[in-house]
Structure 1
Amino acid sequence: MINFSSLEKITGGKNLQYISDKQIRTLIIDSRKAVGESGAIFFAIAGERHDGHRYIQELYQKGVYQFVVEQVIENLASLKEANIIQVTSSVDALQRLAAYHRTQFSIPVIGITGSNGKTIIKEWLYQMLSRNGSVVKNPGSYNSQVGVPLSVWQMQPHHSIGIFEAGISHPGEMEKLANVIKPTIGIFSMIGSAHDEGFSSQQQKIQEKLRLFKASHTLIYCKDHDAIDNAISLSNYKSLSWGYSISADIVIESVQSRYIVIYQGQRLSLTLPFSDPASIENCFHCIATLLWLGYNQMAIQEGINSLRTVQMRLELKEGINHCQLVDDTYNNDLAGLEISLQFLTHQHQRTRKRVILSDILESGLPNENLVKLIAELITKNHIDDFIGIGRVLGEYRKYFSSTSIFYESTEAFLRDFDTSELHNEIILVKGARTFEFEKIVNRLQRKVHGTVMEINLGALVHNLNFFRSRLKPSTKIMVMVKAFAYGSGSNEIANILQYHQVDYLGVAYADEGVDLRKNNIALPIMVMNPSEESFNSLQLHRLEPEIYSFKILRALLSYLNDQSLSIHIKLDTGMHRLGFEECDLDELIQLLRKHKNLHVASIFSHLAGADETEHDTFSKNQAGKFKQWADRISDALGYKPLYHILNTPGILRLPDYQMDMVRLGIGLYGVDPTTEGFRELKPVATLKTIISQIRHIKSGESVGYGRRGVASGDLTLATIAIGYADGFSRAFSRGVGQVLINGKRAPVIGNVCMDMTMIDITGIDAAEGDEVILFGSQLPIQEIASSIKTIPYEILTNTSERVKRIFVAESI
C-alpha cells in the first residue's frame, strides 16, 4: 500500500496542497478515461499539443482528488479537497512511483525487448505460464515510457510471475524502463528497422535495448542473430543462447516435422503447430525460457499445444437490430477488461451499452474477490446491461445489478437468450477462448456478404498524431469526413476524432452533419455545400454552412430573419471552383456588417496545386491574396475569425501557411497525395473479400461476359465475392487489376461482373473461403489507383456502402 504522504520522498516532488492522507490505487494519465473513485491519482503530463493541466478542474468535478502536476495550479482554492504534488516531470514521477511499487515484490519478472515479436512472445509466455500460476503482464503492447509503469503498477501479492515488454524510440529511454521493470530474466527477441531514425546505428540501438537487462540473472536470445550475439558476447551479461549453431547453449535440430532441443545433456523432442519462421523463432524464445525455469519436455509440449493465435485488437462490427458489436473474443483478464470497457464507454454512436462477459480464468484471485472487482468495473463504467456467462459469475451474481442476466454456458445463452431484446445499443462481447464467444458474435452480427472494408483505428490515430506533429501547438485541425469519411464510415471515424479532440469536422452536405449529430457527435461541423432546403437542418442541428456566393448568403439571411448562426466564408484565390473573388469583397463586407446575427467562424480558401513543387509560386501567391482579403474582412467585422488555407498536401509541404487552422482529408487515411513519399503514414483501410469457388479450365476456354477472358493455357480460376456494385471498377477487367491471395498476386481474368470477379490463381496455394486483399498495406491503394489511371480518393469513396465496415483497435 502506497499513500499520498509517501510521494514527496518517492518522486522528489513538493506538496502544493496536502489535505488528508489517501491511498493510491489507480493511476490516470488520460483525462478522457478518468473515473472518479477512491484512490485515483491523475498525472498531468504537458505534451507538445496536449496539456493535462487543462483538465484538472474537470477531473476534480468528476471526483478525482489527487494530482501530480508540473506547474503551479491556478485557482487552487477551488480544489479545496485535493492533494496536489508538484514535480519536475510527471512522466518521471509516474516511473518512480511504479519503480517503488516494483520493489515490494520478489517474484521472477521476465523483461522482453527487441524490434519485433515482443508482444507475441509475451502473450505466448503468458498462455504457457498461467497454466501453473498467476501471471501479470502488459495489457496489449503497453510498452512505452508511460505504458510500462502503468503495467507494472498492476503487480499484486497473488501474482507468482511477471512478464513485461519494453519498447524505445530514442537513446536514454531504456534506462528508465529498466528501473521500473527490474527484470530477473531477460529476452532479446530480434533487431530490425523499427525506430531506426532515433539511433545513429543499429549497434547503438542494440546497446540501448540491452540496458533493460543490467540486473537480470540471465538473458535469453537467439545466437543466430550475429549483431545481437556479438554485442552480448562483448558484454558482461549472463546469457542463455539458443539457435541452430552448435555453439549455442540450447541447440536446435530440425528433423522433418519435429525439433530436437539439446540442453544440458538432455535431448527433447518437440512438435510446433506452425511453420512460418517468425512464429517458430518466437516459440523458441518461450521454450528457452521454460527450460531455464525448469520445465520438463512434457510440460513444455503441453504449453506449446495450448498456444493460440494472438489477435492484439478488438473489432467494431455492425450488429443485428441496429446494434454495434465490440468483438473482443480472444482473451479475458482484468486489465484487458478495463481497457475494453474504456473503449466501449467512449463509443457514442449508441446511447445504451451492454456487456456480455465470460468467467475470467486463472486470475490468481479467490473467485468472490475477482467477481467483486469485475462488478466494480461494470458499475464505474456506467454499463446499462450485463450478461455473465460461466459458473463463477453466476455464483456471485449478488454483486451485480438486479437486471443482470446469467447463463451457465455459451450454449445456454445461444439457446435461451431472445435477441429481439437487443435494439440500437452497443455491445461488448469479451470472453476467454474456451467459452467460444465467436459463436455469440456470429449470432449477433448482421449478415452480409463476405466483402468487408477493415478500418484500423490505431493507424488512423497514428496518422492524426503525425499531422499534429507537423503543426504549431496553436494551430487547430478540421478533419474532413465527407463522402462517408472517404469511404471509411463517417460516424465511427467522427467518434474517434471527437475522442482525440480535433477542433472541427467538415462534411459535404447537411444530411451528413445531421447524421453525425444523431450519433452524438458534438464537435463543430462545417457544411461545404449547403442548400436552401437544408437551412432548417443547419439551425436545428447547430451546423455551420460554408458561404461561397451572394445567392446562398442572401437566401440564408432571408431564412434566418435575425436569428443567429455561425458561418464560414469561402474565398476564391485561384482554384476557381467556389468562393468570393476580390471584386466581391466590398459588397460582402457590407452585408456582414449589416447582419450582426451572422457570426463568421472562419474565412478560408483552397490551394489548387499544393501537392506539386511546380505550383509552389502559385500557392504562395494564393496564400498572399488570401491573407490580404481575409484581413480586410476581419478589420471590417471588428474581430478575427479563424483563417485556413492548407489541405493535406499543404500540411505536408507548405507549413509556412498553417495560419489558425488546417483541413486534414485523405492523409488521415494513410494516403500521401504528394510525390515526396512521407513514409510515416500508415494505411488505414483494407478492402478484402473471399474466394467463393475454385475451378480448373482448359487452354482456349473463355471466361465471363462477352467471353473477354481466354485461357492461354490450362489454369486454375477463382471467383471472388466482389464486383463493380461494391466499388471494384470494371476498369480492373482483363488483367489490369491484381489482387493478393496468401501473399501472392493474382490477375483479373475477363470482365469484372456486378457482384463477382474471376481471377487467375494458377500456381497459388489457395482454397475456397480464403481471404483476398483488394488493397491494403501489402497492396498499396496508390498502386491500385495508378493501374486504372485514377487517384486513391476515387478508389476509397467508390467502395459501396453495402460493403460492411469493420473497425479494429488494439484491445488488451
Structure 2
Amino acid sequence: MTDLPSSLSAAGWAAPGAGAMLEIDLGAIAANYRLLNARTGQATCAAVVKADAYGLGAHRVGPVLERAGAKVFFVAHLEEGMRLRPHVSATAAIFVLHGPMPGTEAEFTRHALLPVLNSMEQIAGWCGHAAQMGRPLPAALQVDTGMSRFGLSDADVAVLAARPALLDGIGTQLVMSHLACADTPASPANAMQRDRLHAMAARLPAAPLALAASSGIFLGVDYHFNLVRPGAALYGLAPNADGPNPLHPTVRLRARIVQKRTIGAGDGVGYGLTWRAPGPRRIATLGIGYADGFLRQGANNGGCAWLDAYRLPILGRISMDSTTVDVSAVPESVLDQATHVDMIGPRRSVDDVAHSAGTIGYEVLTALGARFHRAYLTQAA
C-alpha cells in the first residue's frame, strides 16, 4: 500500500494495473477525531476501529488516531484486538465489544485487551479467569438500556446489586450502553436510554459511564457522560440527516475507464438488458463492480459516477467486475484524455452512494473490497 501526498488527486492515475483505486486520507481521519474530541468537553474521546477501521485499514488508521490524541480504542472481536495491539502503544486501552467467548479469556490478558462483559455468563467466565490469575482483572460492563441487542438486563443488574460478590475479581473500568436512535435527534428513545443508563449504573460498581457513539455526540453534553466512542464519524459519515455534514470526507474511489463505445437507439446494456438507449449514446465501461464492494444496488436511485464536472449516470446492472456509465454529455476532447472517473469523491459522498443503494454509509465503507489499489494520503488535513 502506497503513501502519497494529498496532491495525488491532481497528479493522475497512480495504479496502472488496477481497475480502481481507493484513496484514504489519514489526515482527514485525524482532523475528524480532533473535531469530535473538541465537541466532547471533559469526556474522553475514544476511537472505534472495528471492521478493520470500517474497511480502511486499522493498522494504518489506529496509529494516526493515537497521534491525534486517542488513548482508548474499541473493536468488535478478539481477533481484531489482537491485530490492532502491535500498531498502538502498550498503554493504549483496547476494549473488545463482544466480550470473551468461552475459553478465550486467557487471550485477552495475553494481548492486554479489555473485554466488554455483556452477560452473566461472560461475567462468570472473567471472574473465573481472574481467580486463576490471582488478581483482579479490568473489564467494562455493558447494560441494555432499550436496544435489546447486547448487555445486561434489568434482571441481571438486580441480581448483581443483590449479590455484589458475583463481580469479585472484576475491576470495572466502564459501564456502557448504546443508543438505538441517536441519528434521529427528536426520538424520545434517546432520553429514555440516557435515563436508564443512570438508573442501571447506580446499582453497579462506581465507574465512568459511556453511551454516545458517533451520532450520540451530536445530541449534546447530556449524552457524553465520561467517554464517547465515535466510529463512523471518524471516517466522514454524516451523524444525522438534520443538517450539513460537519465532518471531513476521508475516501475517494476512482475507477479506471476500460473501454468506450457508441451504441444506437434500442441497444441494451448489461445483464438482463434492463436499460435500453433511447437514442445514440456514448458509454464507458469501468473496471469496478460488486466484487470490489461497489454494491449492485448502487445503480438505483440516481446512481452515477463523475468525470470532473460531468455527471455520468450508471446504465443497467452493476456486474461483478464492471460498471457501465453514460458519457454522452462529456465533450470528446475531455473524454479522449480521461483515464478514470470518481465513484466516491468531491461531488458524490459515501452517504450519497449509500442512498442510491438503499443502504447506509456504514455498509458502503465496510464493503469496499481488498481488490482496489489502496493509496494512503498522509498530509494532515
| 1:507-527 CA-partner distances (Å, limit 9, x unpaired) | 111111111113345321111
The aligned counterpart of 2:40 is: 471
Question: How many percent of aligned residue pairs carry the same amino acid?
Answer: 28
Counterpart pick for 1:484 among 43, 46, 52: 52
Paired AA for residue 778 in structure 1: R
- How big is the alpha-carbon RMSD for the aligned residues of Structure 1 and Structure 2? 2.5
Task: Look up the SS of the partner of 2:257 in the other structure.
Answer: strand
Task: Look up the SS of the partner of 2:341 in the other structure.
Answer: strand
| 1:523-562 CA-partner distances (Å, limit 9, x unpaired) | 2111111322533321211111111111222233344543
The aligned counterpart of 2:123 is: 553
The aligned counterpart of 1:260 is: none
The aligned counterpart of 1:606 is: 178
| 1:681-732 CA-partner distances (Å, limit 9, x unpaired) | 2111112211111111222222222222322211111111110011111112
| 1:640-689 CA-partner distances (Å, limit 9, x unpaired) | 32211111111112322211111111111222221222443211111221
Q: Give the 3 Å change call, closer, same or farther, for CA 734–671 of structure 1 in structure 2.
A: closer
Paired AA for residue 52 in structure 2: F
TM norm structure 2: 0.89
TM norm structure 1: 0.43
The answer as to whether partners of 2:146 and 2:193 remain within 8 angstroms in 1 is yes
The aligned counterpart of 1:42 is: none
Q: Does 1:724 align with 2:300?
A: no
The answer as to whether partners of 1:716 and 1:760 remain within 8 angstroms in 2 is yes
The answer as to whether partners of 1:532 and 1:556 remain within 8 angstroms in 2 is no
Task: Look up the SS of the partner of 1:587 in the other structure.
Answer: helix
Q: Give the 3 Å change call, closer, same or farther, for CA 776–533 of structure 1 in structure 2.
A: farther
Instruction: Return the offset for 1:459.
Output: 1.8
Paired AA for residue 628 in structure 1: A
Paired AA for residue 552 in structure 1: Q
The answer as to whether partners of 2:62 and 2:87 remain within 8 angstroms in 1 is no
Instruction: Return the offset for 1:771.
Output: 2.2
| Equivalent pairs, count | 369
The answer as to whether partners of 1:782 and 1:792 remain within 8 angstroms in 2 is yes
Q: Does 1:587 align with 2:159?
A: yes
Q: Does 1:675 align with 2:247?
A: no
The aligned counterpart of 1:538 is: 108
Partner Cα distance (2:280, 2:33) in 1: 49
Instruction: Return the offset for 1:597.
Output: 2.7
The aligned counterpart of 1:780 is: 349
The answer as to whether partners of 1:482 and 1:508 remain within 8 angstroms in 2 is yes
Q: Show the 5 A alignment for 1:356-505.
A: 449-472=18-41, 474-505=42-73
Partner Cα distance (1:684, 1:521) in 2: 24
Instruction: Return the offset for 1:762.
Output: 0.8
Instruction: Return the offset for 1:448.
Output: 6.1
Partner Cα distance (2:88, 2:190) in 1: 38
Q: Give the 3 Å change call, closer, same or farther, for CA 521–804 of structure 1 in structure 2.
A: farther
Instruction: Return the offset for 1:584.
Output: 1.2
Instruction: Return the offset for 1:802.
Output: 2.6
Instruction: Return the offset for 1:595.
Output: 4.9
The answer as to whether partners of 2:290 and 2:321 remain within 8 angstroms in 1 is yes
Q: Give the 3 Å change call, closer, same or farther, for CA 327–578 of structure 1 in structure 2.
A: closer
Q: Give the 3 Å change call, closer, same or farther, for CA 518–470 of structure 1 in structure 2.
A: closer
Largest Rg, 1 or 2: 1
Counterpart pick for 2:368 among 776, 784, 799: 799
Q: Does 1:565 align with 2:134?
A: no
Task: Look up the SS of the partner of 1:751 in the other structure.
Answer: coil
The answer as to whether partners of 2:301 and 2:357 remain within 8 angstroms in 1 is no
Q: Give the 3 Å change call, closer, same or farther, for CA 544–784 of structure 1 in structure 2.
A: same
Q: Show the 5 A alignment for 1:170-185.
A: none
Unaligned residue ranges in structure 1 (runs of 5+): 1-317, 319-324, 331-437, 635-639
The aligned counterpart of 2:226 is: 660
Counterpart pick for 1:623 among 172, 194, 206: 194
Partner Cα distance (1:533, 1:711) in 2: 60
Structure with more relative contact order (C-alpha pairs < 8 Å, separation 6 or more): 2
Q: Give the 3 Å change call, closer, same or farther, for CA 784–595 of structure 1 in structure 2.
A: closer
Partner Cα distance (1:626, 1:735) in 2: 39
The aligned counterpart of 2:79 is: 511
Instruction: Return the offset for 1:454.
Output: 1.2
Counterpart pick for 1:790 among 350, 359, 368: 359
The answer as to whether partners of 1:735 and 1:747 remain within 8 angstroms in 2 is no
The aligned counterpart of 2:214 is: 648
Partner Cα distance (1:751, 1:512) in 2: 35
Greater shift in the superposed pair: 624-633 or 658-667: 624-633
Q: Show the 5 A alignment for 1:220-299.
A: none
Q: Give the 3 Å change call, closer, same or farther, for CA 654–674 of structure 1 in structure 2.
A: same
Task: Look up the SS of the partner of 2:204 in the other structure.
Answer: helix
Unaligned residue ranges in structure 2 (runs of 5+): none
Instruction: Return the offset for 1:734.
Output: 6.6
The answer as to whether partners of 1:735 and 1:748 remain within 8 angstroms in 2 is no
Partner Cα distance (1:644, 1:489) in 2: 25
The aligned counterpart of 1:576 is: 148
Partner Cα distance (1:624, 1:720) in 2: 51
The answer as to whether partners of 2:28 and 2:249 remain within 8 angstroms in 1 is yes
Partner Cα distance (1:735, 1:625) in 2: 39
Paired AA for residue 568 in structure 1: A
Q: Give the 3 Å change call, closer, same or farther, for CA 512–788 of structure 1 in structure 2.
A: same
Q: Give the 3 Å change call, closer, same or farther, for CA 717–735 of structure 1 in structure 2.
A: farther
Partner Cα distance (1:579, 1:572) in 2: 5
Paired AA for residue 583 in structure 1: A
Paired AA for residue 449 in structure 1: A
